[in-house]
A and B are shown apart, each in its own frame.
Chain A
Amino acid sequence: MTQNLFHNKTAQWTVYVVFFICLAAVPSFVSDGFLLNQFATYGVYAMLALSISLCWGFGGILNLGQGIAFGLAAYGMAMTMQMQSQDASNPLPPFMANNSLDHLPFFWEPFWSTGFGIVLALLVPTLFYVIFGSLMFRARVSGPFIAIMTLAMLSALYTLILDMQPYTNGVNGISPPAALQIFGTEIDPYSTKAYWTVVALLLLTTVAAKLLTQSKFGLVIQALRGDPERVRFLGYDVAFYETVIYTVSGLIAAIAGCLWVMLVQYVSPAQLDVNFSITMVIWAGIGGRLSLLGAILGALMIQGGQSYLGDQFLNTWLLLLGGFFILVVRFLPRGLAGLLEKVLGMMAGRQRRDPDAIAPPRVVGAPAK
């Protein structure tokens, strides 16, 4: 019996290895600081798409609020980097003095320490996801209601950060004036060092996510996507599984948030903007949310297109982009990765699976098939 190569684990791992070797080879061909920085930023977007693929594609949890983890971590990192430019004689970031603060707020104090600051930048969003996730999933919120709850939470945080101007500099955000200093060296955002950091962490998170999806835990998660009620009847603690996958995806987004600030030295409420979180979902949807690598490539493709074609087509770019989404969704329900799956399936002689075998997540209020 011939098997669809797409589902062959060895083939999958081979593709991953090839992909990361390609990424690792980039600095051998590119010495331009701008390009390295740009590719590293794409790496961060890829990590976000990966996190969405994990919770939406595999867990069936449509998370429109991934900006929560990304944004909170980005603020943590920006605070850490900002404090590196302050010293005991000048402890106050300039924007605070302009907002009539005369001493550093207590929750800024821990960020004097770079290590502690980064740990907090990762820990705070992760804990937030644990609490918020278990609240949602224990209440058996599902389908589009998760999407809206995460969206409302994101909007609430966005509004809060915007309003807390003395502590966050409101809409202007925080621009740490110097590059990140860590382990005694400076990570120049335009250097190979910064690029390697991003690629290494992307590799780490991708492998972890891949292993997770192939584990027994991952199988239960995928069963949840199909029908949570049946999984519940089988005696699994559905809320626990959902919370874990949601939190893991949040942690990956948080790592992405830290790296992003390292690369661009800037954070503002725009990182928690609803549109940005929807964009992450679009990356995963276009690339193929059921494939981690598909989602990653979706992010690279759309952001790359935005950077390189956006200015060629000035006026028509958004028309083209929108039209492209419409076509992909209309004809390729599982994104570009789904197309590959189909093609490989045909090459294998016969299709072992019905293309719709993996049911889309159920929606309350949706018309019956």
Chain B
Amino acid sequence: MPHIEFASVVNALILGLSIASIWLIAAIGLTIIYGTVGVINMAHGEFIMLGAYTSYMLQSVFGLPFLLCIPASFIVVAAIGVVIERGLIRYLYNRPLDTLLATWGVSLVLMQGVRIIFGSDPKYIAVPEIFQSNVEFGFVNLSVLRIFIFGVTAAVVAGTVYLFYRTRFGMQVRAVMQNKEMAASFGIDADRVYMTTFAIGAGLAGIAGCLFGVLAIVLPTMGTAYVVQAFLVVVVGGGTLVGSVAASGLTGELQSIFAMISNDTFARFLLYVLIVVFLRFRPRGLFAVAKARR
């Protein structure tokens, strides 16, 4: 093993946090949709892609500044989410594995639709100059954009926790999750709860897309790169919010450390194997909710 310096370990750990926040923001919408509604949404990557294209369009056509593009992406993609939920997903709530097939169809349509409208050449999202710089504390180096993404992720997590655990809507969601019939008998409109949750999940993917468009590239196929990772996070976390936070933290740090001591490709291989081994011992994820058998 090569000699490893303290500074590089610290840098790798900090980078791990940043990678974790990227995994988490990609996965959080999926967590909400899967955890609450039970839908396996294969079109999640395309929601991310739609978020990026929304920002691109708002910026290049209407001249919207970057910081306003983030909430705008949320709203636009959430609206698209509502349309898809009303038109398709709501008919499939009692057939969860079928949602996998149907949403795969949705992902094909979205990807090709965007390609026809915008073409297959890559686009970019312009950002304020500050996001093109970094800050240094001694030997620690951080790009402003990564700090920003970390901040947005933290805000999104905080907002989601607040929404699901501190509001009336959140209580309704949790009631429906536990027992739909019982919740309905207390006058909760489960259909509406599902629709709203799906829309929020889609909207959060839109935010992720807006950020990834800056970090990497805007392409019709960009979503596919994130969807498998997002799924792994959700499943390792057991479909709960706290589970996804822990799972992305773990995988982000592991990826960063493995990449430091070996290389990126091998790091990925190790990560996949670890996930398989992990699921062998905790088949329902880190923080699985104990389910009552009926």
A interface residues, Cβ below 8 angstroms from B: 62, 135-136, 139-145, 147-149, 151-153, 155-156, 159-160, 162-163, 229, 274-275, 278, 281-282, 285-286, 315-319, 321-326, 329-330, 333, 360-361, 363-369
What residues on B are CB-neighbors of A62 within 8 Å? 97, 100
Asked if B60 lies at the interface with its beta carbon under 8 angstroms from chain A, I say: no
Stretch of B20-28, B69-77, B268-276 contacting A (4+ beta carbons < 8 Å): B268-276
The one of A145, A160, A322, A360 in contact with B98, judged by C-beta atoms closer than 8 angstroms, is A360
- Contact assessment for A136 and B109 in the assembled complex, using a CB-CB cutoff below 8 Å: no
Distance in angstroms from A258 CB to nearest chain B CB is: 25
Q: Name the distance in Å between A248's Cβ and chain B's nearest Cβ.
A: 21
B122 adjacent to chain A (CB < 8 Å): no
Question: Is the C-beta of B101 less than 8 angstroms from some C-beta in chain A?
Answer: yes
Q: A144-B40, A365-B38, A368-B179 known; A139 and B272 CB under 8 Å?
A: no
Is B189 an interface residue, CB under 8 A from the partner?
no
A329 touches B92 (CB 8 A): yes
Residue of B nearest to A153 (CB): B276
Interface pair B102/A325, CB less than 8 Å apart: yes
**Chain B minimum-CB-distance residue to A334:** B98
Give chain B residues whose Cβ lies under 8 Å from the Cβ of A274: 228
Contact call A367/B180, Cβ cutoff below 8 A? yes
CA–CA, A306 to B232, complex, Å? 30
Taking the closest CB of chain A, its distance from the CB of B15, in whole angstroms, is 20
| B3 interfacial contact with A, CB 8 Å | no
Query: Are A368 and B181 interface neighbours, CB within 8 A?
Result: yes
Say how far B258's CB is from chain A's closest CB, in angstroms: 12
Q: Which of B244-282 contact A (CB under 8 A)?
A: 265-266, 268-269, 272-273, 275-276, 279-281
- Judge whether B235 and A326 touch: CB under 8 Å: no
Shortest Cβ gap from B34 to chain A (Å)? 7
Q: Which of A62, A135, A140, A155 has the most CB of B within 10 A?
A: A155
Contact B279 A141 (CB under 8 A): yes
**How many interface residues does B have (CB within 8 Å)?**
61
> Does B108 contact A321, Cβ atoms closer than 8 Å?
yes
The main secondary structure of chain A at its interface with chain B is helix
Q: Which residue of A lies closest to B224 (CB)?
A: A275
Encoded as 1 (CB less than 8 Å from any A CB) or 0, chain B from 21 to 50 comes to: 000000000000011011010100000000
* A140 proximity list for chain B (CB < 8 A): 283
Q: Are B112 and A315 neighbours in the complex by a CB distance under 8 Å?
A: yes
Nearest first, the 5 closest Cβ-Cβ pairs linking A and B are A325-B105, A322-B108, A156-B272, A366-B38, A322-B109
Contact B176 A367, beta carbon cutoff 8 Å = yes
Contact across chains for B102 and A363 when beta carbons are under 8 A apart: no
Minimum CB–CB distance from B43 to chain A (whole Å) comes to 10
B78 at the interface (CB under 8 A from A): no
User: Inside 8 A of B269's CB, which chain A residues have their CB?
Assistant: 156, 159-160, 163
In the complex with contacts A333-B98, A365-B34, A315-B116 CB distance below 8 A: yes
Asked if B164 is at the interface of the complex by the 8 Å CB criterion, the answer is no
In the bound assembly, the distance between CA atoms of A367 and B181 in angstroms comes to 10
Residues of A within 8 A of B186 (CB): none
Contact between chains at A144 and B97 (CB < 8 Å): yes
Given A141-B283, A145-B284, A364-B291 in contact, is the A329-B102 Cβ separation under 8 Å?
Answer: yes
- Kindly state the separation between the CA atoms of A142 and B291 in the bound complex, as whole angstroms: 14
Kindly state whether residue B293 has any CB partner on chain A within 8 Å: yes
Q: Are A325 and B276 in contact (CB under 8 A)?
A: no
- State in angstroms the CA–CA spacing of A366 and B265 once bound together: 35
Q: Decide yes or no whether B107 CB sits under 8 A from chain A.
A: yes
Q: Which residues of B contact A281 (CB under 8 A)?
A: 100-101
Min CB–CB distance B108 → chain A (angstroms): 3
Do A322 and B37 touch (CB < 8 A)? no
The residues of B that contact A361 with a CB separation of less than 8 Å are 97
B169 at interface, CB cutoff 8 A: no
A318 touching B108 in the complex, CB below 8 Å, given contacts A285-B101, A364-B284: yes
Residue in B93, B268, B272, B275 whose CB lies within 8 Å of A367? B93
B285 contacts across to A, CB distance below 8 A? 145
User: A101: shortest Cβ distance to chain B, in Å?
Assistant: 19
Q: Is B149 an interface residue when CB atoms closer than 8 A count as contact?
A: no
Expressed in whole angstroms, the minimum distance between the Cβ of A97 and any Cβ of chain B is: 23
A367–B38 contact, CB under 8 A?
yes
Most interface-central of B105, B285, B293 (chain A CB within 10 A): B105
Check B98–A329 contact: CB distance below 8 A. Answer: yes
Docked complex Cα distance between A98 and B228 (Å): 33
Chain B residues with Cβ below 8 Å from A152 are 232, 272, 275-276, 279
Contact residues in B for A364 (Cβ distance below 8 Å): 284, 288, 291
| A151-B228, A322-B106, A329-B102 known; A360-B95 Cβ under 8 A | yes
Taking a contact as CB atoms under 8 Å apart, the answer to whether B96 and A366 are in contact is yes
Taking a contact as CB atoms under 8 Å apart, the answer to whether A136 and B228 are in contact is: no
Q: State A367–B289 Cα separation when bound (angstroms).
A: 13
CA of A145 to CA of B279, assembled, Å: 8
Given contacts A145-B235, A145-B279, A155-B228, contact A163 B266 (CB under 8 A): yes
Residues in chain B near residue A142, CB distance under 8 A = 283
